[in-house]
Amino acid sequence: MTKRRHRVLAASALKGGVGKTTTAVNLAAASARAGHRTLLVDADPQGSVGTSLGLAPEARGLAAWIMKDAAFDESVVRAARENLDVLPAGERLLDVEDLFREKGKEKRRTRLAKRFEALEDEEYDVVILDCPPAASLLLENVYHVADELILPAKLDFLSLPALEKTRLFVKEENASREKPLRIVGVLPTFYDLRTAVSTELLDTLRERFTKILTPIRINVALAEAPSVGKTIFEFDGSSRGAVDYALLAEDLKLA
Ligand SMILES: Nc1ncnc2c1ncn2[C@@H]1O[C@H](COP(=O)(O)OP(=O)(O)OP(=O)(O)O)[C@@H](O)[C@H]1O
Ligand SMILES: [Mg+2]
């Protein structure tokens, strides 16, 4: 059987609360709605992806699958939405750090990639990973699996140093990869047209980074949707958030 080519994207930033989960969830939703068979992976021990989609807490998930305690089929939530499977974080995702640390320098980074190799015949068109906000072995594993990286950056004055840190981390990771991880772009989030700081920061980002994706505006619907377990498209398809994430998905050729 020929191997089906799929895209693997991760939303990552070495900073909390910048819109990583919101971006991963809603991009995965847009991709699934466009008819792509999509897998959304929660690689953050906080486990926000499952909650955001209104899924019941899952004991196994990514944690059990990485540790080989469970098969993929027993770990994944099938058809969380049409065309969308979700691999929740699972209860013991924090414990994988210790497990990875027991391995040699190379093996500890490629554990997740090894598990993904077994997924080939699952035939996903698109895999999207939500990342934890701090550097860890788990994050290094995600960087080994992903081909494309989206860097959400909240438009406040602390975003620049965090972006530089993230860029450095990607550079270090790339040193040990055969095929470089591609930064598809910095994604400005919480864009507020009314504030000068938002506009100034956006200008600065454009000066410093070659690829700036279309900004996601600040939108209360984006904050409300996960609290009722809905994607932005289910919660309010005409909201700014829905419009912005639909545009982003088109930009990234996911929809
Ligand atoms: N554009 C936006 N406008 C308004 N609220 C937003 C926007 N994007 C995200 N939020 C809200 O801001 C909070 C942080 O977003 P999110 O959880 O996506 O960030 P994160 O980077 O994944 O955070 P963490 O580092 O904790 O995982 C959430 O409550 C989310 O609903
Ligand atoms: Mg998150």
Q: pLDDT (tens digit, 9 = 90+) per residue, 153-209?
A: 999 888 899 999 999 999 998 888 888 899 999 999 999 989 999 999 999 999 999
- What is the pLDDT confidence band of residue 3, given thresholds at 50, 70 and 90? low
Q: What is the largest CA-CA distance in the chain?
A: 55
Whether ligand 1 lies within 6 angstroms of the CB of 44 is answered as yes
Evaluated on CA atoms 112, 113, 117, 123, the torsion sign reads positive
Whether ligand 1 lies within 6 angstroms of the CB of 54 is answered as no
Residue nearest atom 14 in ligand 1 by C-alpha distance:
17
Give CA–CA dist 97/101, Å, rounded.
6
Enter the pTM of the model.
Answer: 0.96
What's the gap in Å between 231 CA and the centre of ligand 2? 14
Q: What is the pLDDT of residue 1?
A: 42
Query: Considering the chain, what is the average pLDDT of its residues?
Result: 93
Instruction: Return the DSSP state at 106.
Output: T
What's the gap in Å between 221 CA and the centre of ligand 2? 17
Whether ligand 1 lies within 6 angstroms of the CB of 17 is answered as yes
Instruction: Over range 219-242, report the average pLDDT.
Output: 98
What's the gap in Å between 21 CA and the centre of ligand 2? 4
Decide which of 89 and 102 is more confident.
89
Tokens describing residue 3: 């191997």
Give CA–CA dist 254/75, Å, rounded.
25
Whether ligand 1 lies within 6 angstroms of the CB of 231 is answered as no
Residue nearest atom 15 in ligand 1 by C-alpha distance:
19
Closest atom of ligand 1 relative to the 13 alpha carbon: 21
Closest atom of ligand 1 relative to the 227 alpha carbon: 31
Give CA–CA dist 75/205, Å, rounded.
39
What residue type is 173 in one-letter code? E
Q: What is the pLDDT of residue 2?
A: 47
- Report the range of poorest mean pLDDT among 122-126, 135-139, 186-190: 122-126
Given a contact cutoff of 8 angstroms between Cβ atoms, the answer to whether 18 and 154 are in contact is: yes
Residue-range domains of the chain with CATH: 7-251 (3.40.50.300)
Give CA–CA dist 153/166, Å, rounded.
10
pLDDT at 43 over 70: yes
Q: What is the pLDDT of residue 81?
A: 98
Give CA–CA dist 40/235, Å, rounded.
19
Give the other-Cβ count within 10 Å of 78's Cβ: 8
- What is the pLDDT confidence band of residue 4, given thresholds at 50, 70 and 90? low
Whether ligand 1 lies within 6 angstroms of the CB of 222 is answered as yes
- What is the pLDDT confidence band of residue 5, given thresholds at 50, 70 and 90? low
Decide which of 244 and 122 is more confident.
244
